[in-house]
């Protein structure tokens, strides 16, 4: 967490602005801070987490869009073995196949 910096917004208040280098660093911070509370739910309801949540949410959405862009490789241009490797990777990342109601074949969302 070397890139995590806590800057005082002003000298009078004790609130701090959090700056994370990337989403994984934000997750590390969340894990570290949650250990100071009795439970994760108690941490999620704390003012400290509520202040950091907008930044963490924005970073999470950015991370999700990166994964979505990576998944949009043209699967039809891949060979049989390469396509199955691509499909396994997408499945591990949480992408789900859906069945086409017309042809009854299964496709990932980016293939439709």
Highest mean pLDDT range out of 5-19, 25-39, 77-91? 25-39
**Residue 100 to residue 98: CA distance in whole angstroms:** 7
Task: Check whether 24 has a pLDDT greater than 60.
Answer: yes
Task: Specify the pLDDT at position 112.
Answer: 65
Same domain, 45 and 86: no
Same domain, 29 and 61: yes
Q: Tell me the mean pLDDT in the region 39-45.
A: 90
pLDDT (tens digit per residue) in 62-74: 888 877 776 665 6
Same domain, 60 and 90: no
Task: Specify the pLDDT at position 80.
Answer: 86
- Its domain, for residue 27, covers 5-68
pLDDT (tens digit per residue) in 5-18: 444 333 333 346 77
Same domain, 22 and 63: yes
Same domain, 54 and 11: yes
Same domain, 9 and 55: yes
**Residue 28 to residue 4: CA distance in whole angstroms:** 10
Same domain, 38 and 57: yes
Same domain, 64 and 86: no
Count of the separate structural domains present in the chain: 2
DSSP H helices, the chain, are 23-34, 40-44, 47-71, 80-92
Q: Tell me the mean pLDDT in the region 86-108.
A: 84
Global pTM? 0.50
């Amino acid at each position: 967490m070397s890139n995590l910096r806590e800057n005082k917004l002003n000298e009078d208040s004790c609130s701090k602005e959090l700056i994370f280098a990337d989403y994984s660093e934000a997750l590390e911070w969340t894990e570290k801070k949650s250990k100071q509370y009795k439970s994760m739910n108690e941490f999620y309801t704390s003012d400290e987490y509520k202040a950091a949540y907008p930044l963490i949410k924005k970073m999470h959405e950015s991370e999700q869009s990166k994964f979505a862009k990576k998944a949009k490789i043209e699967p039809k241009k891949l060979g049989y073995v390469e396509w199955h490797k691509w499909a396994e990777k997408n499945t591990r990342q949480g992408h789900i196949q859906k069945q086409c109601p017309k042809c009854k074949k299964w496709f990932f969302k980016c293939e439709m």
